[in-house]
Amino acid sequence: MVSTRGIGSTRRTFLTVTGAAAALALAGNLPEIEPARAAAPSSGRPRDPFTLGVASGDPLPDAVVIWTRLAPRPLERFGGMDYRPVPVQWQVAEDERFSRIVKEGVAEARPEASHAVHVDVRGLRPWREYWYRFRAHGQLSPVGRTKTAPAPDAAIPELSLAFASCQAWWEGWYTAHADLAARQHDLVVFLGDYIYEFGIDRGVRPHSGEDYVTRETVTLDEYRNRYASYRMDPDLQAAHASAPWVVTMDDHEVINNWADEAHPSAPPAQFLVRRANAFRAYWEHMPLRAAQQPQGPDLQLYRRFRYGKLAEFSVLDTRQYRSDQAYGDGSKPPGPETKDPARTLTGDAQEKWLLDGWAASRSRWNVLAQQNALARLDVQDGAGVVVPMDTWDGYEASRSRVLGGARDRNVRNLVSIGGDLHRSVASDLRLDFDDPDSPAVGTEFVGTSISSGLDGMDLDPGGATLLKENPHIKYCNFQRGYVSCSVTPERWISDFRVVDKVTVPNGTVSTRAKLLVEDGRPEIQTL
């Protein structure tokens, strides 16, 4: 097992074992497949440099990050750009026609960041819609819509929120993203598995047998190409352009089921180089602040956002600090290892940050935005209990400290939102999942995947088992989609939007269920 309490020694080993290349990674100048050199100059009419669209994220009452990446040939090395800095003009306006520009400037798209641009636009007004765009090489980008957070003491009447996860490009079309974009939420939260690192044979989409999709991602160039292949999708671009996003990663942004410095694919020192490559490409393609820029294999991803008096979002990182999975991973009966208080899903520092934040919160709704299911998932039909070791079930003491900490701090209206399962699961969060009469301290909505898992069905055998064996689970569905939420001081409504088919374009999106949580009443009701 890998301890999360002595990571400094492993970092030193990482430097010692991997030498100069690792030192570059730790400094943020990551090793490439080959020495960097200028791309061949283009000829003829200039190509569109904004093939990957625009995005915004991490909204504050007076600020938001706006993002783009210059990539006229997105699947070529450095996106087809020359290896030199490029000035990029940016504008933020109060109207879509840009007749009322409130902020503008010039950013530098640098080759070592693959010509990505992150502008932390400050001096904006709270709880306002804005539009933004970029100009480079004489061409304008698409226009994006964003919205700042409310002032900390504002009493806003409603928050429109969407959350999503798990979008394996080769397994389906992004019809759910098109629907999400059309709704123009105040905020979108993406809970991990933005890309998949797998090497595959081919998928359901045209061109899904190409090398940039089928090759497993290990190097920085390969991770960059994987993000570019996803970012080229027009529905994903529309979803990014429709609202500010708050993002966190799960496992597939690096490799399946990684845990801190441990993965069976490589020794820790070698794995950390891969992790540094993955983190760098992730930051380059997400609307994140400079504070989230990785330092080699380290990325400060957990953070908090407040939406006036209405809601506070605690965004977790449940990969970077966790103990290795118990009993060799997979689904197993719980035992002494899953109950070991020395094992953690969040690491000590993040757990303390979470509980201290809850103790200070005065928000009506306290949202835990994290990667998978906090509720217990007994997946065995009949006698006995079998649970997945990669979720909170494999870290029972960690879960007990979080749920018990919420109770002890009188956290108001705890709502966990999660992903990872490729199915929708809605649960009451109880202090003791073995006792149906145990007090509920919150509720949880786990959203299904955008496309991972192909079309699915309304209720598969796995979902039927979950409903039968887990009385705290109130709803299951195994189709693709996302969750659109309306949050007011009196109630939280989760609208589970599902797609009939993702294996063909232009599927039909509909509401499968509307689930309600009332203020001060931690139990899920069906509307």
| pLDDT score of 350 more than 60 | yes
Q: Which of these three, 103, 125, 147, is where a domain ends?
A: 147
3-class DSSP state for residue 475?
strand
How many whole angstroms separate alpha carbon 102 and alpha carbon 107?
A: 16
Contacts of 434 (CB under 8 A, 6+ apart): none
CA dihedral 286, 288, 291, 294 (to 10 degrees): -10
Q: Are residues 460 and 315 in the same domain?
A: yes
| pLDDT score of 34 more than 80 | no
Q: Are residues 96 and 237 in the same domain?
A: no
pLDDT at 1: 33
For residue 78, give the amino acid letter.
Answer: F
Q: Are residues 169 and 142 in the same domain?
A: no
The answer to whether 428 and 474 are in contact (CB under 8 A) is yes
| pLDDT score of 28 more than 80 | no
Tally of structural domains, the chain: 2
Q: Are residues 175 and 140 in the same domain?
A: no
Residue recorded with tokens 């007990």: 400
Q: Which of these three, 147, 172, 189, is where a domain ends?
A: 147
What letter would DSSP give residue 292? G
How many whole angstroms separate alpha carbon 366 and alpha carbon 1?
A: 33
pLDDT at 483: 98
- Half-sphere exposure of residue 371, counting CA atoms within 13 Å on the CB side? 24
Residue 13: inside a domain, yes or no? no
Q: Are residues 79 and 168 in the same domain?
A: no
The answer to whether 478 and 457 are in contact (CB under 8 A) is yes
Residue recorded with tokens 């953690």: 344
| pLDDT score of 161 more than 60 | yes
Q: Are residues 205 and 241 in the same domain?
A: yes
What letter would DSSP give residue 38? P
Q: Which of these three, 147, 180, 205, is where a domain ends?
A: 147
Q: What is the mean pLDDT of residues 229-234?
A: 97
Q: Are residues 209 and 83 in the same domain?
A: no
Residue 215: inside a domain, yes or no? yes
| pLDDT score of 261 more than 80 | yes
The domain spanning residue 69 has which CATH number? Answer: 2.60.40.380
Residue 381: inside a domain, yes or no? yes
pLDDT at 262: 86
Q: What is the mean pLDDT of residues 301-329?
A: 98
| pLDDT score of 329 more than 60 | yes
pTM, two decimals, is 0.93
**Average pLDDT, rounded, for the chain:** 92
pLDDT at 46: 74
Residue 349: inside a domain, yes or no? yes
pLDDT at 44: 53
Q: What percent of the chain has pLDDT over 70?
A: 91
pLDDT tens digits, residue range 454-503?
A: 999 999 999 999 999 999 999 999 999 999 999 999 999 999 999 999 99
Q: Which domain holds residue 118?
A: 54-147
Residue 373: inside a domain, yes or no? yes
pLDDT at 45: 61
pLDDT tens digits, residue range 47-100?
A: 999 999 999 999 999 999 999 999 999 999 999 999 999 999 999 999 999 999
Residue 242: inside a domain, yes or no? yes
pLDDT at 7: 40
Q: What is the mean pLDDT of residues 266-289?
A: 97
| pLDDT score of 278 more than 90 | yes
**Environment class of residue 200 by beta-carbon count within 10 Å: exposed (0-12), middle (13-18) or buried (19+)?**
middle
Residue 336: inside a domain, yes or no? yes
| pLDDT score of 27 more than 80 | no
Q: Are residues 323 and 360 in the same domain?
A: yes
What Rg value do the Cα atoms of the chain yield, rounded?
Answer: 22
pLDDT at 202: 83
pLDDT at 213: 87
Q: What is the mean pLDDT of residues 187-199?
A: 97
CA angle in degrees (0–180, nearest 5) for 200-206-207: 55
| pLDDT score of 188 more than 80 | yes
How many whole angstroms separate alpha carbon 284 and alpha carbon 253?
A: 13
| pLDDT score of 14 more than 90 | no
| pLDDT score of 13 more than 90 | no
Q: Are residues 184 and 228 in the same domain?
A: yes
Q: Are residues 302 and 405 in the same domain?
A: yes
The domain spanning residue 473 has which CATH number? Answer: 3.60.21.70
453 backbone φψ class: left, alpha, beta (φ>0; ψ -120 to 50): left
Q: Are residues 121 and 205 in the same domain?
A: no
Query: How does DSSP assign 222-287, residue by residue?
Result: HHHHHHHHHHT-HHHHHHHHHS-EEE---STTTSTT-BTTBBTTB-HHHHHHHHHHHHHHHHHTS-
| pLDDT score of 336 more than 60 | yes
Higher pLDDT, 147 or 22: 147
Q: Are residues 205 and 94 in the same domain?
A: no
3-class DSSP state for residue 484?
strand
Distances, alpha carbon 89 to alpha carbons 117, 118, 266, 305, 503, in Å? 10, 12, 43, 28, 39
Residue 178: inside a domain, yes or no? yes
| pLDDT score of 229 more than 90 | yes
